[in-house]
Structure 1
Amino acid sequence: MHGWGANAEDVASLLPLLNLPDYQFILPNAPYPYPYSPIGRAWYDLRVENMYEGLVESRKLLIDFLQSLESTTGIPLSRTILSGFSQGGAMTLDVGSKLPLAGLVVMSGYLHPDALTAGQRDIPPTLISHGKYDEVVPLQAALKARDTLKSLGVAAEYHEFDMGHEINPQTLKVLRDFVVNTIS
């Protein structure tokens, strides 16, 4: 899932670099328009005056969408990995922790307030990757997500890279390895 202000086409451009020809990818666009560009999309508002407006609705839409996938693709959630970058990574942690997915991939993401609760169980194995020099989502957000998942007993794989708020070839290699190892 794309980040705030991007769209599914942005993510689609990365797919050839993953070298996963036998896997199916579904790239949803977020439901809300991005306020600063006619082609960008948003899962919820990040402007201070409207912080998190639309999150509840996006969460419900995304859960319903994911639960409908098996009937449209024939692939059960137990063989599905949910992945997202930045705001899409936050949605991945939030929604993915509530569904019986095979795994979660969070790139430059963060936890929503109260996304994970003490005692929550059955959270899928999770890959977290983040740039050490991320100027948009601070590295501390990734460390908090990692530590929270580990405190809940989640198998959380964590990687930091010498980069900013981006997806680089190293990130894609780690993502590819996680997908192949998780769905084998």
Structure 2
Amino acid sequence: MGQVPKGLIVTLHGWGANADDLASLSPIFNLPDYQFIFPNAPFPFPNSSFGRAWYDLRMENMYQGLAESRQMLIDWLESLEYSTGVPLSRTILSGFSQGGAMTLDVGLTLPLAGLICMSGYLHPGAATSVPSSFPPVLITHGKQDTVVPLQAAMRARETLESLGVAVEYHEFDMGHEIRPEVLEILRNFVENL
């Protein structure tokens, strides 16, 4: 049996991508003491055979599947300590785009080490329950993001700060993407937890 990692970093992909989409980033993070886990979303993406979705984002089915996806993700995260030996208190939940929205939705309800939301947003009505304490949150977003407008990140920051969440917030000159300078901010955030 190998050594238990310092922590887990669970990263949730965006709408229409899959677990492989972000897995290639793990060596670039340069966090060798952490174990990275990249789960697939539970639902098939309607427009491709390989894509996955945490819930539907098409206008006619907006947010369909969110409640089921939320519960599956919570149950799975709570089971990780059994399979990895790492408790939730040393687990960081992160995500890109729709995965970032799921990170904020689910992560604020669990005793996690930290949350990282890249180019994400808050679901309508999310972050209304008030646990006794929240994990610290890192929000990164592109100023030229045409998929998830910058205003979504600004609203998420304002909402979370109003609840007393410690938020680190960064805007970048980029679109809907993850650039090396974002990964550097992420690494610093993780190392300072």
TM-score bracket, shorter-length normalisation? over 0.9
What letter corresponds to residue 69 of structure 1 in structure 2? Answer: L
Determine whether 1:35 maps to 2:35: no
Which residue in 1 is equivalent to 2:13? 2
Which residue in 1 is equivalent to 2:189? 178
Which residue in 1 is equivalent to 2:149? 138
> What is the TM-score with the length of structure 2 in the denominator?
0.92
Which residue in 1 is equivalent to 2:8? none
- Equivalent residue runs for 1:45-60 within 5 Å: 45-60=56-71
TM-superposed CA distance for 1:142, in Å, is 0.1
The C-alpha deviation readout for 1:133-159, integer Å capped at 9, x for no partner, is: 000000000000001111011110000
Q: 1:88 to 1:101 in 2, by over 3 A?
A: same
What letter corresponds to residue 122 of structure 2 in structure 1? Answer: L
Structure 1 residue runs of 5 or longer lacking an equivalent are: none
Which residue in 2 is equivalent to 1:156? 167
TM-superposed CA distance for 1:120, in Å, is 4.5
TM superposition outliers: structure 1 runs of 4+ over 6 Å: none
Counterpart secondary structure, 2:73: helix
Counterpart secondary structure, 1:105: strand
What letter corresponds to residue 47 of structure 1 in structure 2? Answer: R
TM-superposed CA distance for 1:109, in Å, is 0.3
- Cα separation, 2, equivalents of 1:144 and 1:92: 16
Aligned pairs, number: 182
Q: 1:159 to 1:179 in 2, by over 3 A?
A: same
- Cα separation, 2, equivalents of 1:148 and 1:121: 16
C-alpha contact (below 8 Å) 1:118/1:152 kept by paired residues: no
Which residue in 2 is equivalent to 1:19? 30
TM-superposed CA distance for 1:21, in Å, is 1.3
Counterpart secondary structure, 1:110: coil
Which residue in 2 is equivalent to 1:128? 139
TM-superposed CA distance for 1:121, in Å, is 3.8
Structure 2 residue runs of 5 or longer lacking an equivalent are: 1-11
The C-alpha deviation readout for 1:19-52, integer Å capped at 9, x for no partner, is: 1111101110000011111111000000000000
- Cα separation, 2, equivalents of 1:181 and 1:107: 18
Counterpart secondary structure, 1:172: helix
C-alpha contact (below 8 Å) 1:120/1:152 kept by paired residues: no
Counterpart secondary structure, 1:24: strand
TM-superposed CA distance for 1:16, in Å, is 1.2
Would you tell me which structure has more strand in proportion to its own residues?
2
The C-alpha deviation readout for 1:66-86, integer Å capped at 9, x for no partner, is: 000101100000001000000
- When the two chains are superposed, the root-mean-square deviation of aligned CA atoms in Å is 0.9
Percent identity for Structure 1 against Structure 2:
72
Determine whether 1:100 maps to 2:133: no
Counterpart secondary structure, 2:192: helix
